[in-house]
Amino acid sequence: MHLPRTFALLLAAAALAACQNPAHRSGAAATAIPEPVADVRPTKLEKHGHVRVDDYYWLRDREDPEVIAYLEAENAYTDAVMADTEELQQELYDEMIARLVQDDASVPYEEDGWWYYTRFVEGGEYPLYCRKPSYDSDEEMVLLDGNALAQGHTYFAIDETQVSPDDRLLAYSVDTVGRRKYDIHFRAIRTRQLVPDVIPETTGNMVWGDEGRTLYYSKQDPDTLRAYQIWKHVMGTDVAKDELVFQEDDDTFRCFVTKTKSKRFILIVSSHSTTTEWRFLDTQAPEEGFHVLWPRRKGLRYGVEHFGDHFYVWSNDGAPNGKLVRVPIDSYATAKPEVVVAHRDDALLEDFEVFEKYLVLSERVDGLQGVRIVPWDGSPEHSITFDEPTYSVNTTDNHSFATTTLRFVYTSLTTPRSTYDYDMASHERVLRKQDEVLGGFDPANYASERRWAVARDGTRVPISIVYRKGLVRDGSAPLLLYAYGSYGSSTDAYFSSARLSLLDRGFVYAIAHVRGGREMGERWYDQGKLFHKKNTFTDFVDCAEFLVSERFTSPEHLYALGGSAGGLLMGAILNMRPDLFNGVIAAVPFVDVVTTMLDDTIPLTTFEYDEWGNPNEPAYYDYMLSYSPYDQVEAKAYPNLLVTTGLHDSQVQYWEPAKWVAKLRAKRTNDAELLLETNMDAGHGGASGRFQRYQEVALEYAFLLDLEGIEK
């Protein structure tokens, strides 16, 4: 059976009828959709001698009124099916909001003699960007009021804010659509008056030149949204006369601009998933232009920082887990790099911070993050230790060289986000702020564990688990299993006050640290991409089976969650083991893998050939087709499914989940819940407001709780 274009209107009528006569979701509302009629115009997609017929290709046209009608009809149907959970959704939303400090503020950090922070006003969806002359000062200067700027917009997001070196101007980038096209505006700091210069449709990325009159910024290709140009704007001049500084012509790379911590060098990085190339401009000699530090070489990734007379460079050259080297600035092209931190097989070097007296290394050992302090004078090094079994720690906002204080943020599944200042000389740790959770939250009521599942090929896969104490492990508890597993992005344990709404209702929450991230080092990433991508999916299934075998849950109470590339994971495991899960939530899911990766006119395609493979090559085409969730939909019973997307999503186009849901409706052999919710005003990140996003979380949680028969 196929879903016709004209069926969108029938679907809308059915959904509205269900809304007027709501029934329990397992009853009339769930079966209100009329039988589809096979009268569409199928699109034939031919490649490498294969012919695929796509009955829902027409959904790609977001300007087509029938497409919009279809998406709105699906939204109406979701509303109808979820009508009996409206009170529960409101209850969830209210309790999530009640845990938040309305007038919360971030911890101030120092830069150029000012202390910067953001804060919220009661009821405000967006932050105020502020600064003051000292940490304890009450003399606040509001640089931007996000709530005032957002007025009149259904979507609003500020990407970057940059104060000019002469402290006269604030540059900030704004997106009011959700498609990540940012206009750059300028405001006089002292008068708060807008400056006439406006730079339209940028990536939002920018840095000031040293004199405060020029701004370097990046722009994307208008069709593919690939960031490929760096421009220079001179304040007070016509934007149309801005100078193109650099263009990245290789369509598998993108570029952005940044600055060293010393602020002496402006840097342009061209990046690919496996290769990078850096250019630098010495602001003490800007007439010399940009120079390439090390020419690009396939597989060579490196990152640049400046301190003293050297460039400090993180590099994977002969060091898959990373090493730190340095080269003299005046002989960078010819000098042999000096090894500062050698490669280790048992530790992933993720990042580094340079201070006047200390080198700080962010490392990952056995899947857990750590921070190592190395004095430059040869004194004994030491590490900052943490007691919980699973956690996340990251250095942040360290803008000054001449300090012994390191700022880092720590969180875990049971510990709210905690900002520390750490004295690297005395080893004293000062808690500057721990996010307050209102409503009587007590971390002693919850327990976290780190367990290891054994994958089918013998690989040990870590799992982070949290639950409310008193859990009886007899298989009866509902469990939500999350994973991402792509791009080498590691998923670390973190606290969520919203998640308490599940834990307090008896849910267990778990993170499967599957291959495709870098939790266990570079090999962990290599084993979860290209021709090894299926390891990501089988790891997740094996983790789920482990949790069932350990009686944390059972298939009748097991749920899965993933978004974006994690949504691809959700689609794959649905096709592989639909019997293992009672329900799945797939957020902005990348499910139409082959068709998308064959279309180099849409965002991200060419940039991601080294992640998924290039389907223009027959071997990759066949492998990707073998797991592409949309292409592998079959006539079988699927578990309950909630799919979310955004009309303006520039990363995973809305039509992927829309097509997937349509095909599932036509192919599946059962009548489990199948819901598509499209945010018609947002993109990949969903709703932009501080409180608005909790409405989306409340919908997801209500979906899970209702399947469990939990009404309150």
Q: How far is CA 601 from CA 52, 605, 606, 704, in A?
A: 20, 8, 9, 37
Q: Is 564 a catalytic residue?
A: yes
Q: Is 684 a catalytic residue?
A: yes
- CA angle centred on 707, ends 646 and 536, rounded to 5°: 60
Tell me which residue has tokens 């590691």: 490
Give the rounded distance of the alpha carbon of 685 from its chain centre.
8
CA separation for the pair 599, 590 (Å, rounded): 14
The one catalytic residue in 2, 306, 684, 706 is 684
- CA angle centred on 638, ends 634 and 640, rounded to 5°: 145
Q: Which two tokens stand for residue 496?
A: 């969520």
Question: Which one-letter amino acid corresponds to residue 79?
Answer: D
605 and 575 Cβ atoms separated by less than 8 Å: no
558 and 479 Cβ atoms separated by less than 8 Å: yes
Q: Tell which phi-psi region holds residue 77, choosing left (phi > 0), alpha (psi between -120 and 50) or beta.
A: alpha
Q: Which two tokens stand for residue 597?
A: 């990766």
- Look at residues 343, 303, 302 and name the one whose alpha carbon lies nearest to residue 323: 343
Q: Which sign, positive or negative, has the C-alpha torsion 64, 67, 68, 73?
A: positive
The one catalytic residue in 55, 79, 649, 706 is 649
Q: Is 554 a catalytic residue?
A: no
566 and 584 Cβ atoms separated by less than 8 Å: no
CA separation for the pair 119, 104 (Å, rounded): 6
233 and 245 Cβ atoms separated by less than 8 Å: no
Backbone φ, ψ for residue 532 (5° rounding)? -110, 10
- Kindly give the residue spans of alpha helices, DSSP state H, lying in 492-613: 500-503, 522-526, 534-549, 565-576, 593-597, 609-612
Residue 480 is inside which H or E element, if any?
A: strand 479-482
Q: Strands 291-292, 348-354: parallel, antiparallel or unpaired by DSSP?
A: unpaired
The one catalytic residue in 564, 628, 650, 688 is 564
- The set of residues, in sequence order, having a beta carbon less than 8 Å from that of 386 and lying 6+ positions away, is 370, 393, 410
**3-state secondary structure string across 239-301:** HHHCEEEEECCCCCCEEEEEECCCCCEEEEEEECCCCEEEEEEECCCHHHCCEECCCCCCCCC
Half-sphere exposure of 100 (CA within 13 A, CB side): 22
Query: Which positions are catalytic?
Result: 564, 649, 684
